[in-house]
């Protein structure tokens, strides 16, 4: 559980040191007195400011969180405040977030906190908005482009696979081939491809051409047996 303490001086900090867990990270921030008990919650969706809410504590404490009893109301935000919130959102890479700003005496803002898991209930009530619906619409708007990129990638991979793949010829072992193929000489196979090299003997002209298929080989063997 996150805890926030205000140390008014070094002696007060020494008194609070026993409350700090030394096995967990902790952060020291400068105390902005003029913003004690109030801050501005800026909600961003998709890197865009959708609204801002002024939060004020009701019991004098430093924290102004609505969950701790603070109250919120919609408030306008200066251009400097909007730019600061957007800059923080972009630096942290958060599509949906709540940036808490503290206002100085001159009206400018400084960053107090960035929340990736931002609450919506108090903000919706104060600003009359539906943040959950806005977030859902934003999430849906991302789907077409991402699906299109994914489909395009799959298409490229599939096309590359089709163009690079060639049919493989797996020769059968010689011990399972018919006898006519195993005893076939080079001269007998050249009669089809090169007429000039073909055997012109009567016996060769009457033979059925040999095809390297099991059925063709058996046919050739059958024709040879008939001639005998």
Return the HEC string of 133-180.
Answer: HHHHHHHHHHHHHHHHHHHHHHHHHHHHHHHHCCCCCCCCCHHHCCHH
CATH superfamily of 33-136: ATP-grasp fold, B domain (3.30.470.20)
pTM: 0.59
3-class state of residue 11 by DSSP = helix
| Burial of residue 164 (number of CB atoms within 10 Å: 0-12, 13-18, 19+) | exposed
Write out pLDDT tens, residues 181-216: 444 444 444 444 444 444 444 444 444 444 444 444
- On the question of pLDDT at 156 being above 50, the answer is yes
Residues 210 and 192: their CA atoms lie apart, in Å, by 9
Which tens digit of pLDDT belongs to each residue from 11-24? 888 888 877 777 87
Q: Read off the pLDDT of each residue in 108-133 and give the average, rounded to a whole number.
A: 92
The answer, yes or no, to whether residue 222 has pLDDT greater than 70, is no
Q: What is the residue extent of each domain of the chain? A: 33-136, 174-227
pLDDT of residue 15: 84
- Please provide the average confidence, as pLDDT, over all residues in the chain: 73
């Amino acid at each position: 559980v996150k805890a926030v303490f205000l140390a008014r001086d070094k002696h007060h900090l020494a008194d609070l040191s026993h409350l700090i867990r030394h096995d967990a990270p902790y952060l020291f921030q400068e105390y902005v007195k003029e913003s004690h008990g109030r801050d501005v919650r800026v909600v961003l969706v998709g890197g865009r400011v959708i609204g801002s809410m002024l939060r004020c504590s009701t019991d004098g404490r430093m924290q102004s969180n609505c969950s701790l009893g603070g109250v919120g109301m919609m408030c306008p935000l200066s251009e400097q405040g909007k730019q600061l919130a957007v800059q923080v959102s972009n630096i942290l890479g958060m599509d949906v977030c709540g940036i808490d700003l503290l206002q100085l005496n001159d009206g400018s803002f400084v960053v107090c906190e960035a929340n990736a898991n931002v609450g919506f209930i108090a903000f919706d009530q104060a600003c009359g908005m539906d943040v959950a619906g806005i977030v859902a619409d934003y999430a849906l708007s991302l789907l077409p482009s991402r699906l299109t990129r994914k489909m395009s990638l799959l298409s490229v991979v599939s096309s590359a696979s089709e163009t690079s793949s060639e049919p493989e010829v797996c020769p059968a072992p010689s011990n399972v081939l018919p006898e006519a193929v195993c005893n076939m000489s080079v001269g007998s196979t050249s009669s089809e491809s090169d007429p000039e090299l073909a055997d012109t003997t009567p016996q060769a002209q009457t033979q059925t051409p040999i095809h390297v298929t099991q059925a063709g080989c058996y046919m050739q063997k059958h024709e040879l047996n008939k001639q005998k």
